[in-house]
């Protein structure tokens, strides 16, 4: 590999690293939204999937397809070198028997790491099944495998779900009653009830046909393609084909792969493929708010024009901005702009018009963590400019909003020259208390008629 190729490879790794860090910061916000969905569905009783979707549609004003994405998805099968974890651990333990000393201790530590990772994966599987997750405690006392959890995920009707919960509750109640009890006839009866509850649980799982669990060759091929792209962002169809195992390699070609990719959540840029975060599709406004918090801006210029923008760098950043633009549905793209440091090209999605800024910030407002204050200031300013320009307090409040925006954007900057901007920190709270939203509410609702 020559010096130029090394430099290019280094830049690609740096780009992927930065985007990975950015996505990690956004994951927490999206998990919070997942918790919000769970709270909405927590009605104190078991419901069918159709009822869950209806509640989500009503709460978020979305269609059922979008609501189904918000329910979350069951994690992909956890394998290492195409082996299931239980099989791998069994082989590792057999190998350990022939080892001694440090090698044996090292193998033991490796086995423990694999088991801990698999335990975390099982927890994620349980949490992804919203209706069963509140009963995780008794569920873990049952005999089940990863495939059994997949069966539970396939249960959609209220009767199927209630039958499982009934078995878990019977076990749970008997176990609580048995706790601390001396061995006796009653203790034995409770043990029998617990055994019968376990059997009922197994019977519920058996009712899900194996055909519903088996994936077709086409589904396995699509999963493999998506996995290859995820691990090799920017790869082309020929590269995907070359990385396929021999059985899949012989059954397909780059042309077939290009057509198959259209069925996946994959973005295409000049023949290079990228997998975008599922969080974009799950809740675009929560994701946009989290992105603005981390790598975007909310501000205004000296002419009191509102400005909101998202920024990403490199080729993958360009694809990402295009996907965001498509998902949001408005805004202006500025691609391949030179950076001041003359490094990777910068890609921006900006929002200039008052209508676009107002719509974006209104929908993102509940999800902001760091820039909620900035968003509220712009929404107040836009409302003032739209209906209250002739008010005697308009110009004075515009000046206060400009100073407050400066303060919001630079309050964490040590040594910022506030006096240069004519800002006295003692006045900040006074400016905040002078918000005109309630004044505009009263002016626009004279006589009780909404404007």
Q: Output the DSSP codes for 83-133.
A: EEHHHHHHHHHHHHTT--HHHHHHHHHHHHHHHHHHHHHHHHHHHHSTTTG
Please state the φ and ψ torsions of residue 335, each to the nearest 5 degrees: -105, 155
pLDDT at 174: 92
The mean pLDDT of 6-21, rounded to a whole number, is 52
pLDDT band (50, 70, 90) for residue 117 = confident
Cβ count within 10 A of residue 411 = 12
Domain-located, residue 212: no
CATH number of the domain to which 380 belongs: 3.10.28.10
Same domain, yes or no, for 429 and 293? yes
Residue 52, pLDDT above cutoff 60: yes
Distance of alpha carbon 349 from alpha carbon 331, whole angstroms: 6
Residue 264 is given by DSSP the state S
CA atoms within 13 A on the CB side of 213: 16
Distance of alpha carbon 435 from alpha carbon 46, whole angstroms: 45
- The β-bridge relationship of strands 266-269 and 272-275 is antiparallel
Same domain, yes or no, for 227 and 323? no
Distance of alpha carbon 341 from alpha carbon 282, whole angstroms: 35
Tell me which residue of 310, 312, 314, 321 sits closest to 343, measured CA to CA.
314
The mean pLDDT of 106-129, rounded to a whole number, is 86
Record the tokens describing residue 177, joined without a space.
């009653």
Residue 1, pLDDT above cutoff 50: no
CB 30 within 8 A of CB 286: yes
pLDDT at 323: 83
CB 328 within 8 A of CB 360: yes
Domain-located, residue 365: yes
Domain-located, residue 8: no
Compare 139 and 39 and report the one with higher pLDDT: 139
| Longest CA span, the chain | 88
The helix (H) or strand (E) run that includes residue 83 is strand 83-84
Same domain, yes or no, for 443 and 302? yes
Domain-located, residue 438: yes
- The β-bridge relationship of strands 266-269 and 332-337 is unpaired
Same domain, yes or no, for 320 and 229? no
Residue 446, pLDDT above cutoff 60: no
Residue 159, pLDDT above cutoff 80: yes
Same domain, yes or no, for 226 and 360? no
Question: Alpha-carbon dihedral of residues 277, 271, 218, 248, nearest 10 degrees?
Answer: -120
Domain-located, residue 145: no
Of 89, 111, 128, the one marking the end of a domain is 128
Residue 265, pLDDT above cutoff 90: no
Record the tokens describing residue 87, joined without a space.
């099989």
* Angle separating helix axes 3-41 and 284-295, nearest 10 degrees: 130
Same domain, yes or no, for 328 and 374? yes
Number of domains, the chain = 3
CB 295 within 8 A of CB 348: no
Of 62, 95, 128, the one marking the end of a domain is 128
CB 356 within 8 A of CB 349: no
Same domain, yes or no, for 262 and 297? no
Tell me which residue of 67, 49, 246, 13 sits closest to 159, measured CA to CA.
49
The DSSP annotation for 220-260 comes to: HHHHHHHHHHHHSTTB-HHHHHHTS-HHHHTT--HHHHHHH
Domain-located, residue 366: yes
The share of the chain scoring above pLDDT 70, in percent, equals: 85
Same domain, yes or no, for 291 and 429? yes
The mean pLDDT of 202-216, rounded to a whole number, is 73
pLDDT at 72: 67
pLDDT tens readout for residues 229-245: 877 888 888 888 888 88
Cβ count within 10 A of residue 422 = 10
pLDDT tens readout for residues 346-379: 889 999 999 999 999 999 998 898 899 999 999 9
pLDDT at 11: 53
Residue 158, pLDDT above cutoff 70: yes
pLDDT at 164: 92
Helix (H/G/I), strand (E/B), else coil: 333? strand
Distance of alpha carbon 72 from alpha carbon 377, whole angstroms: 34
Of 275, 300, 323, the one marking the end of a domain is 275
pLDDT tens readout for residues 53-87: 888 888 877 777 777 777 767 787 777 766 778 88
Distance of alpha carbon 181 from alpha carbon 183, whole angstroms: 6
Distance of alpha carbon 167 from alpha carbon 428, whole angstroms: 60
pLDDT at 24: 52
The overall average pLDDT reported for the chain is 82
Same domain, yes or no, for 120 and 257? no
Domain-located, residue 158: no
The share of the chain scoring above pLDDT 90, in percent, equals: 20
Which residues constitute the domain of residue 234?
217-275
* pTM exceeding 0.75: no
Residue 386, pLDDT above cutoff 80: yes
Same domain, yes or no, for 347 and 398? yes
Please state the φ and ψ torsions of residue 8, each to the nearest 5 degrees: -65, -45
Same domain, yes or no, for 359 and 391? yes
Same domain, yes or no, for 267 and 303? no
Domain-located, residue 35: no
Which has the minimum average pLDDT: 108-112, 159-163, 278-282? 278-282
Residue 380, pLDDT above cutoff 90: yes
Record the tokens describing residue 275, joined without a space.
């997998």
pLDDT band (50, 70, 90) for residue 2 = very low
The mean pLDDT of 275-303, rounded to a whole number, is 80
Please state the φ and ψ torsions of residue 312, each to the nearest 5 degrees: -145, 155
């Amino acid at each position: 590999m020559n010096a130029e190729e090394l430099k290019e490879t280094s830049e690609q790794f740096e780009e992927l690293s930065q985007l990975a860090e950015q996505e990690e910061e956004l994951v927490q916000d999206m998990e919070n939204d997942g918790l919000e969905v769970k709270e909405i569905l927590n009605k104190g009783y078991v419901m069918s999937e159709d009822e869950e979707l209806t509640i989500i549609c009503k709460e978020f004003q979305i269609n059922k397809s979008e609501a189904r994405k918000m329910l979350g998805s069951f994690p992909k099968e956890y394998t290492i070198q195409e082996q299931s974890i239980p099989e791998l651990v069994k082989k590792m333990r057999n190998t350990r028997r022939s080892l001694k000393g440090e090698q044996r201790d090292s193998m033991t530590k490796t086995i423990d790491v694999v088991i801990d990772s698999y335990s975390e994966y099982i927890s994620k599987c349980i949490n992804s099944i919203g209706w069963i997750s509140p009963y995780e405690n008794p569920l873990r006392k049952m005999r089940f495998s990863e495939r059994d959890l997949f069966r539970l995920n396939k249960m959609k009707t209220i009767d199927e779900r209630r039958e499982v919960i009934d078995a878990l509750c019977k076990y749970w109640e008997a176990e609580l009653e048995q706790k601390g009890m001396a061995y006796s006839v009653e203790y034995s009866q409770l043990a029998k009830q617990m055994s019968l509850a376990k059997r009922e649980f197994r019977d519920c799982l058996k009712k899900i046909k194996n055909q519903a669990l088996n994936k077709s060759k086409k589904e396995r091929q699509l999963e493999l393609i998506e996995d290859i792209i995820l691990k090799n962002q920017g790869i082309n169809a020929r590269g995907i084909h070359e990385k396929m195992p021999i059985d899949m390699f012989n059954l397909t070609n780059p042309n077939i792969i290009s057509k198959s990719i259209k069925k996946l959540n994959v973005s295409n840029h000049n023949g290079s493929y990228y997998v975008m975060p599922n969080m974009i599709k799950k809740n675009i406004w929560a994701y946009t708010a989290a992105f603005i918090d981390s790598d975007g801006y909310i501000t205004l210029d000296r002419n009191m024009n509102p400005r909101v923008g998202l920024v990403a760098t490199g080729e993958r950043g360009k694809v990402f901005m295009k996907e965001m633009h498509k998902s949001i549905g408005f805004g202006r793209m500025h691609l391949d702009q030179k950076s001041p440091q003359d490094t990777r090209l910068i890609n921006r999605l900006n929002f200039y018009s008052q209508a676009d800024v107002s719509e974006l910030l209104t929908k993102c407002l509940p999800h902001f963590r760091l820039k909620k204050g900035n968003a509220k200031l712009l929404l107040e300013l836009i409302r003032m400019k739209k209906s209250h320009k002739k008010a005697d307090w308009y110009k004075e409040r515009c000046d206060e909003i400009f100073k407050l925006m400066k303060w919001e954007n630079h309050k964490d900057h040590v040594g910022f020259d506030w006096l240069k901007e004519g800002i006295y920190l003692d006045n900040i709270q006074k400016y905040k208390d002078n918000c005109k939203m309630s004044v505009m509410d009263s002016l626009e609702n004279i006589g009780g008629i909404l404007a």
